Structure 1
Amino acid sequence: MSTLTSLARVHAVEAGRAQPITTVRHVHVSAKPLVCVPLVMAGEANAPLAAMVGSDRDAPRVLIVPQPRNPELRFGFAHSLAMVVLDRVASCAATTETYARSRGRNGQRAADAPQVWVPNRAGIEFLRLFGRSTRFRSPTGPYPVPVSVPALGKWLTFFAEHAENPGSSMLLAATDVLAQHWATGQSALEDGNLAALLSWIAPPTGSDGAFAALEAEDPLLYPPAGPATDTTFDREVLGPGIEEYDRAAGDAEQCRRARTRLETALRGQLEPTWHRMWQAIDQLRTLPPGNHVAGRWGQDKDDFTRFYSHVTAGGNPQPKRDSAVAAAKRLNRLERYLAGYEAQRAFDDPLVMAEYRLVGEAFVGEVIAAEPNRRVGAGNSAALRPLITVSTSDPVRLAVGDGPVSDQKRPRQHATIISVTETPDGREITLELAGGMGKGKTAPAGTVPPVGERVCFSTLVSEYHREGTFPALENTPWTHGGPPTAQRPSTDDDAKEDWS
């Protein structure tokens, strides 16, 4: 937790209401999000119990498994969920758009991508495991399942993997996104409770965040947001309901009645969280999106389009485990995404940038001197290297020679610190600029900050981060297992794998 976030939590306690820690929204919010509130059965390995899912807040679909230990009913649930998810996938892929790529080229991609919302991180983990348990299943052989089940598994795995990508908005946990934008007067662990978190952000009239959050801990008034259910509900309602369904085996009418009673009980557990999910989405829509949000959503659409083409072409499901090279590439990609995402958030949001200013990794000041046409070298090889001097009162920890640092308004232009002079009001920092000024002998207007302009320099770099160098798969060193075997199609043994 950062210093400013800690301070915001103190203010939240004093004010009785969560405090904003951003000025803009750092995630994309779809016009038609797919909300999913899952429930699992306690004591069983990721056994689905029920889910409320849909894109219409007034007409959710309730899916239940009246006996979660029954594999046939589990796969019936998976098929029903697949119908909802795959329909949203197909509708997004049905319309394409032309977009500008690098070097003046254009490309084609899906005009939209699915966006799935779950209540919390545990909901993402449920979908990840559910995808792992279904993507290797086969519609033929000794354990046949509907053809939609392995397709669902591929897409859930795809969404869960992208949930790890910093800045991706295809699979989001409501508690994570809300806590990224508001600081409450409770602990980070307590922020994992969606009802308590929203109680701090938007307390009821006449109440405050602390009292409303305390009420939200009552499982009778606010059933848990899943995927685990309340133990009292399990003991007094769910357990007897499942036993009634088991006793009705062989009697169609009794089974229907038992299933209806279970669905009614489970709907009562799901509906409060369903409404809070839409409240969370509405709350986020009150914030304007950051400048880089659209670009990151464009990357999500690119990834969605590529994977859709892979699936429709009959591509294999994701492997159970990455090879050594694939794992290293994935780690490198996540590190690059994180570096770019942190920079973009800071450039979009002065409150986020304030964190870097506080620790001395960024400074804001006014340009008091500029030498825009300074050149270094002789003759035709002389390079344009302007100098500017910035007066700042920020606590700068950067020293002479440090760099590159970049200006928030000119992220493609890099600067190196030439001198730091202490003054009664702070310090004066002289920087040498490079890049972002074309190839001429003089700097075009606007490319060098003029005297009087307020600038913000930081160590953050939001431009493309070059991918690391990795060996080809066939050259995987023996210390990392040697070259991996080719991925084989799914077999009957995969279909026998445990549900978890």
Structure 2
Amino acid sequence: MSALATVAALRATASGDAERLTTVRHAHLDDTPFVLVPLTLAGEACAPLAALAGTDPDIPVLLTVRRPYDRTERFGFVEGLAQLLLPHLDECRAAPKEPYTAGRGKDKEERERPLRAPQLLVPNAGGITYMRLLGRLTRLRAAEGPHAVAPSVPTLGKWLTWFADRAEFPGSCLLQPLTRLLSTHWATGQSPTENANLASLLGWIEPPAGRTGAETAREREDPSAWPPAGPATDPVFDRTLDELITQYDSAPGQRGPEAAARRIDHELRAQMLPTWQLMWQGIRLLRELPPGKHVADRWAFDRRLFGEYADYLDDDGRPQARRDHAVGAARRLARMEEAQVRYDAERAYDDPLVMAEYELTGEAFTGVVTARDEERTVPGARLGSTLWRPTLTVLCELPVSLAAGTAVKSPPRPGQKAEILDVVPDGTGSAVLIQLNGGFDNKRKPPAPPGTLAALGETVTYTSIDPKSMPSALPSEEDTPWTHGGPPQPYEPTDEDAEEVWE
């Protein structure tokens, strides 16, 4: 937890209500997100028990498994989920497309990406694990031969695995747990572990009238009134469920099992409905926050990846390998690290509260422009040539840790490169001399276009972090040296991949 987040948590503890951590929303929210509230059978890693799913807050679709130990019913549950989610994916794919340019320099290429992409929201991080395990369980199933499943089952499994993989990348909004989204924007007076409880977290953020967040959160720790958000169930409910399943298995005649099945469905729905309503409450709260400037760019990248994977399934369609090979794992790790650095920098550029964290670590500073030299020039590379390089003097109330020669940028003018020329202590603060190296609408001589040069008396922030820093370059797979295993062999699924003990 950062220093400012710790202070916000202490303030929330003192006041009894949540404190805002951001001024804007740093995540995309689709107009029609696909919400999934799953439950699993206690004692097994991924035994589907029930789910509420859909895109309409008023009409959730209930999926249940009356015999959770019956593998045929489990895959029937997956088939029902596929009938809900796959048409939603196809609807997004059918949306109009927009052109974009991929690559740099000579490798630039004009492509198209869909204007829509699906967004899946689950209550907590356990929902991500559930989807990853469900994808692993289903993506290698065979649609022919012994123990065949419906063709939609392995297709859904491939998509679930892809969504779960993308959820590991910072900034991606294709699959997100709501508790993570809310905790990123609000600080509560409870621990991060307690913030994983969606009911208590929302109790802190939006308590009922006349109640504090702390009081509401304490009340919502009662599982009988506020069932767990899943995928694990409450142990007390497990005993009730076991009795209902036993009655279902032993019910006589034709109407007996039907009545028992209705009781199971009723109890499972009652367990998930409060979480379903909390999900849409949290979505509403997040929608009330204005989006950050970089949110649209990150969502455009998500839409691009969605379109590319959909095309891959049409062209090839092989399921993901059980494990990444060495080269693929290294490249994936590098992409995740770059995504984290880029996401952190973009949040700071979009939000002064996030940028304040970098001021505390010495990677940014804020001050007032006290002087500027708009006419300044320096010798160019060619003999007798000059370059227009205006300067700003920024007076900061706090000491500045960045050294002379450091490249910096200002969030309101991200396209303007700058460099620190000198840092002079001034009482308790510092005076920083900054040279501007461009960003004047391609003008090479003064005067600067209006707004491109900070005015005297203007408060400015400069930082050494850059959301557009170049990513690291790794060799292509075919150029992998022998010391690192050489070029990896492509993954080829076999019949053994789908084998499972059925006794």
TM range (shorter): over 0.9
Structure 2 residue aligned with 1:413, among 409, 413, 416?
416
> Is contact 2:50-2:65 (8 Å) kept?
yes
Flag the structure with more relative contact order, 1 or 2, with Cα contacts below 8 A and sequence separation at least 6.
1
**Distance of 1:335 and 1:386 partners within structure 2:** 36
**Matched residue, 2:366:** 364
How many Å apart are 1:318 and its aligned residue? 1.5
Unpaired segments of 5 or more residues in structure 1?
A: none
1:66/1:362 Cα in 2 relative to 1: closer, same or farther (>3 Å)? Answer: same
Alignment of 1:114-129 (within 5 A): 114-129=118-133
**Distance of 2:127 and 2:323 partners within structure 1:** 22
**Matched residue, 1:8:** 8
Alignment of 1:299-378 (within 5 A): 299-372=301-374, 373-377=376-380, 378=382
> Is contact 1:98-1:106 (8 Å) kept?
no
**Distance of 2:115 and 2:76 partners within structure 1:** 31
Alignment of 1:68-147 (within 5 A): 68-101=68-101, 107-147=111-151
**Distance of 1:380 and 1:63 partners within structure 2:** 77
Structure 2 residue aligned with 1:399, among 399, 403, 414?
403
> Is contact 2:122-2:176 (8 Å) kept?
yes
**Distance of 2:151 and 2:193 partners within structure 1:** 40
1:143/1:216 Cα in 2 relative to 1: closer, same or farther (>3 Å)? Answer: same
How many Å apart are 1:371 and its aligned residue? 2.7
How many Å apart are 1:379 and its aligned residue? 3.4
How many Å apart are 1:467 and its aligned residue? 3.6
Structure 1 residue aligned with 2:213, among 192, 209, 214?
209
How many Å apart are 1:437 and its aligned residue? 4.1
**Matched residue, 1:47:** 47
**Matched residue, 1:457:** 462
Alignment of 1:164-243 (within 5 A): 164-235=168-239, 237-243=240-246
> Is contact 1:16-1:208 (8 Å) kept?
yes
Which sits farther off after the overlay, 441-450 or 7-16? Answer: 441-450
3-state SS, counterpart of residue 379 of structure 1: coil
AA in 2 matched with 1:129: L
Which sits farther off after the overlay, 4-13 or 278-287? Answer: 4-13
1:43/1:27 Cα in 2 relative to 1: closer, same or farther (>3 Å)? Answer: same
Structure 2 residue aligned with 1:288, among 281, 287, 290?
290
**Matched residue, 1:65:** 65
**Distance of 1:438 and 1:35 partners within structure 2:** 45
Q: Does 1:264 align with 2:266?
A: yes
**Distance of 1:357 and 1:471 partners within structure 2:** 36
How many Å apart are 1:471 and its aligned residue? 3.0
**Distance of 1:442 and 1:269 partners within structure 2:** 69
> Is contact 1:325-1:470 (8 Å) kept?
no
How many Å apart are 1:330 and its aligned residue? 1.2
3-state SS, counterpart of residue 155 of structure 1: helix
TM-score (norm 1): 0.94
Q: CA RMSD in A?
A: 2.1
3-state SS, counterpart of residue 97 of structure 2: strand
AA in 2 matched with 1:396: V
Which sits farther off after the overlay, 315-324 or 429-438? Answer: 429-438
> Is contact 2:400-2:423 (8 Å) kept?
no
AA in 1 matched with 2:409: S
How many Å apart are 1:141 and its aligned residue? 2.1
AA in 2 matched with 1:207: R
Q: Deviations over 1:321-361 (max 9, x none)?
A: 11222111111111221111111111111111111112221
How many Å apart are 1:255 and its aligned residue? 2.5
**Distance of 1:152 and 1:62 partners within structure 2:** 18
AA in 1 matched with 2:97: E
1:334/1:370 Cα in 2 relative to 1: closer, same or farther (>3 Å)? Answer: same
**Distance of 1:183 and 1:439 partners within structure 2:** 43
> Is contact 1:376-1:384 (8 Å) kept?
no
AA in 2 matched with 1:89: L
Which sits farther off after the overlay, 165-174 or 470-479? Answer: 470-479
**Matched residue, 1:487:** 491
**Distance of 1:258 and 1:492 partners within structure 2:** 39
> Is contact 1:194-1:225 (8 Å) kept?
yes
**Distance of 2:462 and 2:424 partners within structure 1:** 16
Which sits farther off after the overlay, 152-161 or 217-226? Answer: 152-161
**Distance of 1:324 and 1:371 partners within structure 2:** 54
AA in 1 matched with 2:121: W
> Is contact 1:374-1:387 (8 Å) kept?
no
1:10/1:467 Cα in 2 relative to 1: closer, same or farther (>3 Å)? Answer: closer
**Distance of 1:380 and 1:77 partners within structure 2:** 77
**Matched residue, 1:441:** 444
How many Å apart are 1:65 and its aligned residue? 1.1
> Is contact 1:24-1:290 (8 Å) kept?
yes
> Is contact 1:50-1:266 (8 Å) kept?
yes
1:380/1:124 Cα in 2 relative to 1: closer, same or farther (>3 Å)? Answer: farther
> Is contact 1:52-1:63 (8 Å) kept?
yes
TM-score (norm 2): 0.93
1:496/1:386 Cα in 2 relative to 1: closer, same or farther (>3 Å)? Answer: same
Q: Deviations over 1:161-189 (max 9, x none)?
A: 11111111111101000000000011111
3-state SS, counterpart of residue 227 of structure 2: coil
3-state SS, counterpart of residue 466 of structure 1: coil
How many Å apart are 1:381 and its aligned residue? 5.5
How many Å apart are 1:425 and its aligned residue? 5.4
Q: Does 1:154 align with 2:162?
A: no
Which sits farther off after the overlay, 283-292 or 238-247? Answer: 238-247
**Matched residue, 1:246:** 249
Aligned residue pair count? 494
3-state SS, counterpart of residue 412 of structure 1: strand
Which sits farther off after the overlay, 418-427 or 49-58? Answer: 418-427
> Is contact 2:327-2:488 (8 Å) kept?
no
> Is contact 1:376-1:385 (8 Å) kept?
no
Q: Does 1:429 align with 2:432?
A: yes
